[in-house]
A and B are shown apart, each in its own frame.
Chain A
Amino acid sequence: MSSLSRMLMITAFAAVAGIGAVTARQLLMVNSPVAPEINGFVLQQPRLLPAFELLNGQAETFTGADFAGAWSFLYFGFTYCPDICPTAMVEMAKLKTLLSASHPDLLAEFYLVSVDPERDTPQRVQEYVTYFDDNFKGLTGDLEDISNLAQTASVIHVIEPSADGVSYEVGHSSTITLLDPQGSIRAIFREPLRAATLADDVSQVLSYAELMKE
């Protein structure tokens, strides 16, 4: 047989297999819950966090295991930021209020993870977050651990050099990452971060997570 007809056969076979695969996928999808449409991403498979060691606002070690037991909302930002971070923190505080009304039994924790550990000491992060809500928590630590965690949460961050080396800016993704009570990522909410939209989206993600259990 010529190599041309062999190639044709391979192509035909690939096409048939492809159509089969797509059909099979469609059929399978019918039985699994459909991920809700939100302003961001819902993960169909919970994403595990990498091993990391950070410091909380009391300068105590904080690891992935410390996320267990409650739904966690993570915002990656920095306290030197005058505009976008405070705006996001305000929306996150409003989200907390909305959720405590709509889901009174939900255990939820809210974190600012600093992407500027050079300037953000545990104490600094703590005084910053509690300005927005008494129960907000701050995390900081080694840049490497922060980067590992950020990367898993699809957050990019970069320190922009400044002339004086002190008043530098940090560019970062402005998203809220939602972890389930097992500490795995379930959803990522993106800008514009508005409390009302977030509350609706969170509610949908929680229902979806409930369906996925079955």
Chain B
Amino acid sequence: MVAICLQAYTGLESFNHGVPVMQKLKTTIVEPASRIEKGIVVGWAVLVFVVIMVAAGLARFIVADISAQEPDNAVIARTQPSPDVAAGTIAVSDLWIRATPPGARTAAAYLYIRNSGDNDRLLAVRSERARSVEIHTTQEQSGMMRMSRLDSLAVPANSDLQLGPGGYHLMLVEISESFDPGDSVLMTLMFEKAGAMDVNFAVRDAR
């Protein structure tokens, strides 16, 4: 590729400083000087071909890349499970923790939140089974899946919010022991307006 570019570049220089081209092309007998011109013409053809092939290849890749990008919106629940724990206008349901592989130091917890009142926020979560519990979101950023910690999670008035795999989740950091299927894990959810809620998460084998 580099070699071809150089050749083409040299060709351009010759076009600008060399003898008139048109005249040479008209002659039927090829003289040594016009052989160089022919070389230049071939060089150009090769360059243009290569550029087009590369552009076509890139366009294909870029188009495929863009079309495959999906907006990473908040996971909106398709089903609406019936709430089983309520504090004022906040109700939570389908609370579960992914059973952990052996040796795991982290775990993820998921739930469904329904807010039938004014705007509220999940401010913090605590559990005795982890050093800390963080509110996370998983997002695709510049081709990478990245979890980022949120200071709080808005639960707008009269809306539902699903925390689920691949989206919002509660991350239990430095867990004290493994979470096994059948375990029930007590956690405290702190809402700005609804206050503290003690809730139990069921540990599920999600394999």
Chain A positions near chain B (C-beta within 8 angstroms): 1, 3, 6, 9-10, 13-14, 17-18, 21-22, 25, 39-41, 79-84, 86-87, 90, 93, 124, 127-128, 131-132, 156-158, 160, 167, 169, 171-174, 190-192
> Which A residue sits closest to B169, measured CB to CB?
A83
A192 touches B166 (CB 8 A): yes
Q: How near does chain B come to A35, taking the closest CB pair, in angstroms? A: 9
CB closest residue in chain B, given A1: B20
Task: For A82, give its contact among B16, B145, B172 (CB under 8 Å).
Answer: B172
What are 27 A-B pairs with beta-carbon distances under 8 A? A1-B20, A1-B21, A9-B21, A14-B44, A17-B44, A17-B48, A21-B49, A25-B56, A79-B101, A79-B103, A80-B106, A82-B108, A83-B136, A83-B138, A84-B138, A84-B166, A87-B206, A90-B207, A132-B207, A156-B144, A157-B144, A167-B174, A171-B144, A172-B145, A173-B144, A174-B140, A191-B145
Tell me the B residues contacting A by CB distance below 8 Å: 15-16, 20-23, 41, 44-45, 48-49, 52-53, 56, 61, 64, 68, 70, 98, 100-108, 136, 138, 140-147, 165-166, 169, 171-174, 206-207
Contact of B104 among A10, A79, A174 (CB under 8 A): A79
Distance to closest chain B CB from A135 (angstroms): 14
Q: How far is the CA of A165 from the CA of B148 in the complex (A)?
A: 16
Given contacts A83-B147, A90-B206, A173-B145, contact A13 B44 (CB under 8 A): yes
Tell me the bound Cα distance from A25 to B50 in angstroms: 11
Known contacts A14-B48, A17-B48; A25 and B166 CB within 8 A of each other: no
**Are B138 and A82 within 8 A (Cβ)?**
no
CB <8 Å contact, B44 and A83 = no
Which of A6, A86, A192: most chain B CB closer than 10 A? A86
Give the docked Cα–Cα distance between A14 and B44 (Å). 7
Q: For residue A174, which residues in chain B have a CB less than 8 angstroms away from its CB?
A: 140, 144-145
Whether A83 pairs with B171 at a CB distance below 8 angstroms is yes
Question: Would you give the shortest CB distance from A6 to chain B, in whole angstroms?
Answer: 6
Partner of B21, one of A6, A82, A172: A6
The listed residue with most B CB atoms (<10 A of its CB), out of A83, A167, A172, A192, is A83
Shortest beta-carbon distance from B106 to chain A in Å: 4
For A35, give the chain B residue with the smallest CB separation.
B60
Taking a contact as CB atoms under 8 Å apart, the answer to whether A81 and B146 are in contact is no
Within the complex, the shortest CB–CB distance from A36 to chain B, in Å, comes to 12
Chain A residues lying within 8 Å of B15, measured Cβ to Cβ, are: 6, 10
In the bound complex, what is the Cα–Cα distance between A192 and B140 (angstroms)? 11
- Starting from the known contacts A83-B165, A157-B144, A171-B146, 13 additional A-B residue pairs (CB-CB under 8 Å) come to A6-B16, A13-B44, A14-B44, A21-B48, A21-B53, A41-B61, A81-B147, A82-B106, A86-B101, A93-B207, A156-B144, A171-B141, A191-B70
> Min CB distance, B203 to chain A, in Å?
13
Query: Does A156 lie within 8 Å of B142, measured CB to CB?
Result: yes
Q: Which 6 A-B pairs have the closest CB atoms?
A: A131-B101, A171-B146, A82-B108, A82-B106, A17-B48, A174-B145
Question: How far, in Å, is A27 (CB) from chain B's closest CB?
Answer: 14
Residues of B contacting A93 with CB < 8 Å?
207
Q: Which residues of A contact B140 (CB under 8 A)?
A: 174, 191
Q: Are B172 and A127 in touch, CB under 8 angstroms?
A: no
**Is the beta-carbon distance between B141 and A21 smaller than 8 angstroms?**
no
A169 near B142 with CB under 8 A, answer: no
Inside 8 A of A83's CB, which chain B residues have their CB?
Answer: 98, 108, 136, 138, 147, 165-166, 169, 171
In Å, the complex CA distance between A90 and B102 comes to 15
Instruction: Say which residue of B41, B61, B64, B102 sits within 8 Å of A127 (CB atoms).
Output: B102
Contact A18/B48 with A39-B68, A82-B172 known, Cβ cut-off 8 Å: yes
Indicate which residue in B53, B64, B144, B174 contacts A172 across the interface (CB closer than 8 Å).
Answer: B144
